[in-house]
Structure 1
Amino acid sequence: MPLYIDYLLLVVGWLVYFVLHSGLATVRVKEAVSSKLGLSVAGYRIFYNIIALLGVLVLLFYNGTLIPPKLIPQMGFIKYFSLLTAGIGVIIINSAFKQYSTSGFLGLAREESGKLKTKGILSYIRHPLYSATILIFIGFFLYDSRLATLISVLCVFVYLPIGIYLEEKKLIKIYGDEYRAYKKRVPALIPSYKTILDNF
């Protein structure tokens, strides 16, 4: 099989993953699947997280099977920088979960609802988990700079604005003007000079 077919399959795999990821997050699909499978809210969240995790693992495994030459020479400082970048992403995830209910997010407990959360890292950026994803995938590419990894990273980066748009559409539906005001005040992914000053 020609190598470009392998790369095309990788792109198609990410496309299917993102369609499933966004589709399963919609209220309509959530209600339909929950009803058909007899799942509670927490049960559906567990189901969603298992599908998301398995999908990423399968795609990363397939990514790892494609082994052409490296695009960037693997000098020591690049590897250290890649680990630093991914490490900062992990720290951001940890900060984000201090604002969310981790057990609720994983589906192990009832998700907290009601008030819009804007404290902690959420007072600097609206989507810390997406910011962390960007840093982790940049680190991933710098550490493993094959064409397959670059394609995977680009697929994720192309999806992120779509994911943010769909998530914010849902949040505006839930919180209305409160979220619109928050959106005007706080940037999506990178802290602004103003938000940094406002939080000192």
Structure 2
Amino acid sequence: MNDYIILALCWSLFYAVHSLMAASKLKRILKEKLGQHMKWYRLFYSLLSILLLMGIGLVSIKIPTQKILSESQFLLYFGYLFATFGTIIMVKSSKGWSLKSFLGFKPVDQNEELFQSGWYARVRHPLYLGLAMIFLGYFLVAGTGAALTHFVCLALYLPIGIYFEEQNLVDQFGQEYIEYKKEVPAFFPKLKK
């Protein structure tokens, strides 16, 4: 049980750092303090996230495998189905932006437009939706306590992450994003356009 608590604490640290570093208020303060060096902020953020995720991976590997779901063809089928569909959603919804900018190797375009097509026409946070489906699929396939811990931590964080991300998006896009919020659901996609 202690292993799962440590894993949950690691995820809590990751999500807290993620929310804090993505906050537009912190970015404004740092921009004033760092000036020209602010161009390295996104790269630092990406590298720190990768290190934290590697730490979570190491903690996960050290947890003894303890099955909590019986293996069945039904669970395997739906697990792979969720994980595959989640991956497709993430790949398709990330096609419109630059990986170099996302990772911090290239400055973010300050005049970027609000994505409202593709998966973004059905759900405001397709990357979170895809990630949740992958984590759920992983749990159904692996059936372990660690996989359940990963999924539960993500499920608990999503409303918090969405809240903070939407504050940033309203700051960035203003009324356009407020109107978009009225038309498109946050997490569960609308099936008809």
Corresponding residue of 2:87: 90
Matched residue of 1:150: which SS? helix
Structure 2 counterparts to residues 16-165 of structure 1, below 5 A: 16-30=13-27, 35=33, 39-41=37-39, 43-114=40-111, 115-165=113-163
Identity of aligned residues (%): 32
Report 1:158-177 matches (<5 A).
158-177=156-175
What TM-score do you get using the length of structure 2 for normalisation? 0.88
Shift of 1:60: 2.7
Report the counterpart of residue 190 of structure 1 in structure 2.
Answer: 188
When residues 120 and 112 of structure 1 are mapped into structure 2, their CA distance, relative to the original with a 3 A threshold, is farther
Q: Which runs of 5+ in 2 are unaligned?
A: none
Give the partner amino acid of 1:60.
Answer: G
| Alpha-carbon spacing, 1:179–1:36, altered in 2? closer, same or farther (3 Å) | closer
> What TM-score, normalized to structure 1?
0.85
Deviation at 1:6, TM superposition (A): 2.1
> Contact 2:101–2:108 at 8 Å: present in 1 too?
yes
Q: Quick check: 1:24–1:30 contact (8 Å CA) kept in 2?
A: yes
In 1, the alpha carbon distance for the partners of 2:82 and 2:53 equals: 20
SS at match of 1:99: coil
Number of equivalent positions: 191
Q: Contact conserved, 1:99 with 1:119, CA < 8 A, in 2?
A: no
Please give the alpha-carbon distance, in whole angstroms, between the structure 1 residues aligned to 2:80 and 2:109: 33
Q: Is the 8 A contact 1:85 1:138 kept in 2?
A: yes
CA-based RMSD: 2.1
**Matched position secondary structure for 1:39:** helix
Instruction: Tell me how far 1:17 sits from its aligned partner.
Output: 1.2
Q: Secondary structure in 1 aligned to 2:37? A: coil
Out of 11, 16, 20, the position equivalent to 1:14 is: 11
Letter in 2 for 1:166: F
Deviation per CA, 1:111-167: give whole Å up to 9, x if none: 233322212221111101100111010011112211122122111110011000001
Structure possessing the higher relative contact order (Cα contacts under 8 Å, 6 or more residues apart) = 2
Structure 2 equivalent of residue 178 of structure 1: 176
1:47-92 Cα distance to aligned partner (Å, 9 max, x none): 1112112212221331232125311112244234322211111111
The residue type equivalent to 2:43 in the other structure is: I
Flag structure 1 segments of 5+ consecutive residues without an equivalent. Answer: none
Contact 1:18 1:159 in 2 (8 A): yes
Distance of 1:146 and 1:86 partners within structure 2: 16
